[in-house]
Structure 1
Amino acid sequence: MATKAVSDESFESDVLNAPGPVLVDFWAEWCGPCKQIAPALEEISDEMAGELTIAKVNIDDHPMTPGKYGVRGIPTMMIFKDGQVVSTKIGAMAKGKISEWVKESL
């Protein structure tokens, strides 16, 4: 299962009302560290299909949602469960560290 592009308009239905946990990656085209973690997020999305959805919000195209959640630096990753933020990580991390954080948060 590939990562899912989410917009300000679809955030509520795609993330807040999602049936299971959702990792949201706030990113931008010009962000080097964001591009660095993108392949790891794709792999984790495949490995955890059915357990976790990985959504990506481009902060340049959709500025309302990151503003609402206080995103100040990117990449910022947040895990949502039942419409609430349960964990946040800021900055690029190796795939193993992201997987570890996800498993601890779920």
Structure 2
Amino acid sequence: MTDIGVLVARSTTPVLVDCFTPGCGPCAALAPILDTLADELKEQLAVEKIDVGANPEVAKLYGVRGVPTLLLFKDGKHVASRTGAASRTQLITWLSAHGAV
């Protein structure tokens, strides 16, 4: 099991967790956008990826019912979720609305 709590606890910045499954088209479309954001915002935001097919307890714990789902954590707490692919601009707007960037 991937322990989100450990990932979040170790981070000094907000953490964006990408819940995905292999073979998911929208997940594959979102991946390069998240990789770019992770690189651009590395001082402000940690980006992690979790295969919820291999870690179903994570999906259950955070109510992930579809992929891709993004979970946002700030100060060790889950503050927001969003499901579905999104553009870079949409993600920046969403992250900004939650004070993550």
TM-score (norm 2): 0.89
- CA drift of 1:17 comes to 4.4
What is the deviation of 1:78?
1.3
2:13 paired with 1:39 = no
Q: Which residue matches 2:16?
A: 23
- Corresponding position of 2:91: 98
2:54 is the alignment partner of 1:64 = no
Across the aligned residues of Structure 1 and Structure 2, the Cα RMSD in angstroms comes to 1.3
Measure, in 1, the Cα distance between the counterparts of 2:79 and 2:30. 21
Q: Equivalent residue for 1:54? A: 47
In structure 2, the gaps of 5 or more residues are: none
Q: For 1:62 and 1:69, how far apart are their aligned partners in 2?
A: 12
Instruction: Note closer, same or farther for the CA distance 1:16–1:66 as it changes in structure 2 (3 Å cut).
Output: farther
SS at match of 1:60: coil
Describe the SS at the equivalent of 1:14. helix
Classify the secondary structure of the residue corresponding to 2:8.
helix
Structure 1 spans left out of the alignment, 5+ residues: 1-6
Q: Specify the SS of the correspondent of 1:45.
A: helix
Runs (4 or more) in structure 1 with deviation over 4 Å come to none
Alignment: residue pair count: 99
Distance 1:15 1:30 in 2: 26
Relative distance call for 1:81 and 1:65 in structure 2 (3 A) is same
Paired-residue identity, %? 33
Q: Is the 8 A contact 1:17 1:82 kept in 2?
A: no
Corresponding residue for 1:73? 66
Structure 2 residue matching 1:88: 3-state secondary structure: strand
